[in-house]
């Protein structure tokens, strides 16, 4: 069976680095949405809890209900209003005034404010109306937040959006006081914005995903960081054969042997969420080994007859080869791949 190994030591190393940046463990919300970026939702929730993380963010109510209920705060980032009441430590991100109005009384919510990304969130000019509605409908406002669009980039965009956030926050505080609501938590930073921050953050906490798993896409001209990849991906040998010079391997016969060689197939393919390499580039997996020919749905081919091969310890090169980001290669890995935690 193909297998994902989770290096607990590296996860804890990254959580330590990020909680120091934020100011404390309480100021770090671990983002474990989308099956913890492919690492395994329950496993990563358990490890985060063990480390001392008190807040997590997930994709939807289904994910929220699957994890350890002892978190102080479980924030759902991308789900719709639910009729039935969720447990007290679960809250929903609200991305527009239209949707705010659909939440039932007593729902726990975090209000998202659009400070320049223009993806989600209420406008600054809608803060007053939103809070009035929250007050009247007796919604439980637990947080007010925003999201930055360019925290990775080597330009001034982050600073521009951060100053918009400071203004939005001031307006929210003013209106919250006016309506006599309890003061919620404020949060804005993702991994990159937190890593770039100096001397702690002004918000109550930061929401970090990718950096907890050991990666950042921050432009290297800004800085580099001591993060350690948490996941490695491994596959087991399914069969071995010797092919002669001129024989071709796999769909389309894309790989042709230049000499007699021993080759094996391994039990991972694009059906498991590993990218479908077309065999034409120069994709290298761990140890500089090459994939021979096209990746099939459930297998791929490599030289030799090792019982196991490692596809990656660090997914950066593979994501570059597919012209995408580390987030995508990790998140696509299917939940049925066995996950094993390597202890400290």
Ligand X SMILES: *Cc1c(COP(=O)(O)O)cnc(C)c1O
Catalytic residue annotation: 33, 251
Distances in Å between the Cα of 111 and the Cα atoms of 153, 176, 242 are: 26, 12, 61
219 or 338, CB closer to ligand X?
219
**How is 107-166 classified by DSSP, letter by letter?**
-EEEEEB-SS--SSSB-GGGHHHHHHHHHHHT-EEEEEE---S-TTSSSSHHHHHHHHHH
Min separation Cβ 245 and ligand X, Å: 47
190 contacts ligand X (rule: CB under 6 A): yes
75 contacts ligand X (rule: CB under 6 A): no
Angle formed by the axes of helices 41-51 and 8-22, nearest 10°: 60
208 contacts ligand X (rule: CB under 6 A): yes
197 contacts ligand X (rule: CB under 6 A): no
146 or 265, CB closer to ligand X?
146
207 contacts ligand X (rule: CB under 6 A): yes
CB-CB contact of 141 with 172 (8 Å): no
- Residues between 85 and 124 with contacts to ligand X, criterion CB under 6 A: none
Closest by CA position to 107, among listed 96, 93, 91, 94: 91
19 contacts ligand X (rule: CB under 6 A): no
77 or 127, CB closer to ligand X?
77
76 contacts ligand X (rule: CB under 6 A): no
Q: Which stretch binds ligand X (CB under 6 A): 167-175, 189-197, 254-262, 269-277?
A: 189-197
Element (H, E) at 177: helix 157-178
206 or 300, CB closer to ligand X?
206
Residues in contact with ligand X by the rule CB under 6 A:
31, 33, 77, 147, 190-192, 207-211
């Amino acid at each position: 069976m193909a297998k994902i190994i989770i290096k607990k030591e590296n996860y804890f190393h990254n959580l330590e680095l990020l909680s120091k940046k934020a100011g404390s463990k309480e100021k770090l919300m671990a983002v474990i949405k989308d099956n913890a970026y492919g690492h395994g939702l329950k496993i990563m929730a358990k490890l985060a809890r063990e480390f001392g993380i008190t807040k997590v963010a997930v994709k939807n109510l289904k994910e929220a209900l699957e994890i350890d209920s002892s978190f102080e705060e479980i924030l759902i980032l991308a789900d719709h209003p639910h009729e039935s009441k969720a447990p007290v430590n679960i809250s929903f991100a609200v991305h527009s005034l239209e949707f705010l109005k659909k939440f039932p009384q007593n729902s726990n919510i975090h209000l998202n404010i659009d400070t320049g990304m223009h993806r989600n969130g209420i406008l600054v000019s809608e803060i007053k109306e939103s809070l009035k509605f929250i007050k009247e409908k007796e919604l439980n406002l637990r947080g007010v937040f925003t999201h930055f669009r360019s925290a990775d980039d080597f330009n001034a965009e982050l600073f521009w959006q951060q100053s918009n956030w400071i203004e939005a926050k001031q307006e929210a505080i003013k209106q919250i006081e006016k309506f006599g609501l309890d003061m919620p938590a404020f949060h804005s930073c993702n991994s990159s914005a937190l890593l770039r921050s100096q001397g702690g953050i002004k918000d109550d906490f930061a929401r970090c995903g990718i950096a907890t798993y050991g990666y950042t896409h921050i432009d290297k001209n800004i800085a580099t960081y001591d993060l350690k990849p948490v996941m490695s991906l491994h596959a087991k040998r399914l069969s071995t054969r010797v092919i002669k010079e001129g024989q071709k391997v796999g769909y389309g016969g894309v790989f042709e042997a230049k000499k007699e060689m021993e080759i094996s197939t391994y039990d991972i393919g694009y059906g498991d969420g590993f990218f479908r390499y077309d065999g034409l580039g120069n994709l290298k997996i761990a140890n500089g080994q090459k994939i021979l020919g096209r990746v099939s749905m459930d297998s791929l081919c490599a030289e030799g007859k090792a019982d196991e091969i490692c596809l990656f310890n660090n997914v950066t090169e593979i994501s570059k080869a597919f012209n995408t980001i580390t987030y995508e290669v990790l998140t696509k890995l299917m939940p049925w791949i066995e996950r094993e935690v390597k202890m400290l």
